[in-house]
Chain A
Amino acid sequence: MNTTAIKDLIIKMADDELILGHRNSEWTGLGPVMEEDIAFSSMAQDKIGHALALYQILHEQLDGVDPDRFAFLRAEKDFRSSHLVEMPNGEYDFSLMRHFLFDHAEAVRYESLAASAFEPLKSLAFKIKGELKYHTLHANAWVMQLSNANEESHARMQQALDNTIALAAGIFEPSEKWESDLISYEIYPGEQILFQRWIERISPILEQASLRLPDLKTVTPVYGGRKGYHTIYLQPLLTEMGEVYNLDAEASW
């Protein structure tokens, strides 16, 4: 089995979870209503937890470094996060739509990993299945209810979808070097198949929500993150995330 390929897959998955977990955790204490604040914060914690679990696989199974050092000391160019997760929070419509699109992408990815030939990913997929079920249940309820509520909320959700779809399609940026290896070793089915499953998953929900999914032929996925090219928002966030840790990376915090 090609461990470099597996590492590449795990790093991009983990970096997405870490960065989006951070973005979503920024809402803790600032949400639209207390009950939702609590729910959204739990899901942010889950994402950071997923990142940690993936970094632990790297550390323990693939000769990687300690998760804290890997997450908080790496240079920006070594991150493999997609541009979708790097974007600042903006308003709640954007955050909810990103949550909806990302969490369905995550769900189809982990469902496929339940059949992975790489055992640690397979068992992680099994472990977090219930969490992802709640995340998508939550996302579906909000997207459907807000989009069908009033004119303003429908317009906001449609706008958020229009603004986010190309970024979200960028989650599925294939690895130039490793894609075919990962598929042939049955680590996962490959980005192209996941993308199709994702579209099949979100389309009927968007339809029920009376939202118009832009014609995918006109959508150019925003790629680059998986190669280490990032938005201007990533470096400031990384600096912030590591601010205390980097006061003394050798110290115990």
Chain B
Amino acid sequence: MYGGGYIYDEPNKRPLAEQLAEDPDKLAAFEARIAKGEKIEPGDWMPSEYRRQLIRLIEQHAHSEIIGALPEGTWITRAPGFKRKLALIAKVQDEIGHGQLLYNAAETLGKSREAMINDLLSGKSKYSNVFNYPAETWADVAVIGFLIDAAAIVNQVANAKGSYGPYCRALERICYEESFHLKQGHDAFIELATGTPAQKTMVQEALNRWWQPIMHFFGPPDKTSSHSEKLMQWKVKMASNDDMRNQFLDMYVPKIWELGLSLPDPLLRKNEAGKWEYTDPDWDEFFRVINGEGPCNEERLRVRKWAEENGRWVRKALMQPSDKKSFPVA
């Protein structure tokens, strides 16, 4: 579900010129291919910086899927009624499925799934910040299923037009499933918004809690982001953070307002030029949470570690170290 516009990068002190120092002929051919709208495939020559950025992007997207399964999983055993229960299990299952597809896409670039999992567990690699917040009530699940998935779709539809073949193919499959996620989330959301006064209060409160993390979802404002020009040219990053945020607000704020719900931002409005204006969310908090100080960072990793640790005997029992191995071919 959940790429998000913001992709964490380790502090990188190498000068840009050095990072891009590549065989000029090969680089030109590579860039020409992308400019023509052709895809890059795993065996192709690619600049090392392109490979590094893609691994970072796809890996963090994959981590976001499997960590994203946890906040919603919070309500699996408590989802009300058969239909919601089955839909929620199927949805959380899809997140794991998406993680699987994305790890495979990243593996085509030469980093093993095990190495990626280790970087997640050690905190070296990040995942979408939004999953470091708790799903306090059933209504939080509806808000996540509707709005976080909607935000993710904006991001993923853009990324699916990117330059790297395996990532695009994974996203195509993911977007197909996301349409179910969005629909079931919207349905649960509407049910609460149009339900009893207590249900309305429940969903309004959840919306208030999640609004800031949702505004954070696409990452810091464009004016503060660095090094995205080359990534845009290489079609790794397909749209700017602000553009995606604006697109999301344009599509979904009316769908919230039409149900008689409010959003906790008095400045939120669409101006004459068709752009959305809003109060800047607290970006200091965004960076604090990324660096481990969110309400659920610790629990998310502890649970993930539990799963890896308790599944180890199963995996180890069937390991075949002598088996001829390679990365995925496509």
Residues of A within 8 A of B (CB): 22, 25-26, 28-38, 41-42, 44-45, 48-49, 52, 67-68, 71-72, 91-92, 145-146, 149-150, 152-153, 156, 237, 240-241, 243-245, 247-248, 251-253
By beta carbon, the residue of chain B nearest A72 is B81
Whether the pair A29, B66 counts as a contact (CB closer than 8 A) is: yes
Whether the pair B82, A34 counts as a contact (CB closer than 8 A) is: no
Q: From residue 307 to 328 of chain B, which have CB atoms closer than 8 A to chain A? A: 307, 310-318
Whether the pair B318, A26 counts as a contact (CB closer than 8 A) is: no
**Minimum C-beta distance from B102 to chain A (A):** 10
A152 to B313, CA, bound (A): 8
A45 to B97, CA, bound (A): 15
Cβ-defined partner of B199 (8 Å) among A25, A30, A91, A251: A251
Cβ-defined partner of B96 (8 Å) among A26, A37, A252: A37
Given the contacts A31-B311, A34-B100, A71 and B195 also touching, CB distance less than 8 Å = no
**Minimum C-beta distance from B202 to chain A (A):** 9
Whether the pair B89, A48 counts as a contact (CB closer than 8 A) is: yes
Whether the pair A25, B76 counts as a contact (CB closer than 8 A) is: yes
Cβ-defined partner of A91 (8 Å) among B70, B310, B317: B310
Given the contacts A149-B317, A252-B195, A30 and B80 also touching, CB distance less than 8 Å = no
Whether the pair A28, B89 counts as a contact (CB closer than 8 A) is: yes
Whether the pair B80, A146 counts as a contact (CB closer than 8 A) is: no
Whether the pair A32, B80 counts as a contact (CB closer than 8 A) is: no
By beta carbon, the residue of chain A nearest B113 is A34
A29 / chain B contacts, CB cutoff of 8 Å: 66, 69-70, 73, 92, 95-96, 307
Whether the pair B81, A149 counts as a contact (CB closer than 8 A) is: no
A245 to B195, CA, bound (A): 13
**Minimum C-beta distance from B318 to chain A (A):** 6
**Minimum C-beta distance from A144 to chain B (A):** 11
Whether the pair A253, B318 counts as a contact (CB closer than 8 A) is: no
Any chain A CB within 8 A of the CB of B196? yes
A245 to B77, CA, bound (A): 11
Whether the pair B95, A67 counts as a contact (CB closer than 8 A) is: no
A243 / chain B contacts, CB cutoff of 8 Å: 78
B78 / chain A contacts, CB cutoff of 8 Å: 240-241, 243-244
Whether the pair B66, A38 counts as a contact (CB closer than 8 A) is: no
Whether the pair A48, B315 counts as a contact (CB closer than 8 A) is: no
Q: From residue 38 to 90 of chain B, which have CB atoms closer than 8 A to chain A? A: 66, 69-70, 73, 75-82, 84-86, 89-90
A176 to B293, CA, bound (A): 59
**Minimum C-beta distance from A23 to chain B (A):** 9
Cβ-defined partner of A48 (8 Å) among B85, B99, B188: B85
A37 to B97, CA, bound (A): 9
Any chain A CB within 8 A of the CB of B225? no
Whether the pair A253, B191 counts as a contact (CB closer than 8 A) is: yes
A237 to B66, CA, bound (A): 25
B89 / chain A contacts, CB cutoff of 8 Å: 25, 28, 41, 44-45, 48
B80 / chain A contacts, CB cutoff of 8 Å: 72, 244-245, 253
Given contact pairs A32-B307, A240-B78, A243-B78, enumerate 19 new A-B contacts (beta carbons under 8 Å).
A25-B77, A25-B89, A29-B70, A29-B95, A29-B96, A34-B99, A37-B93, A38-B100, A45-B90, A68-B81, A68-B82, A72-B80, A92-B310, A150-B317, A248-B196, A251-B195, A252-B191, A252-B195, A253-B84
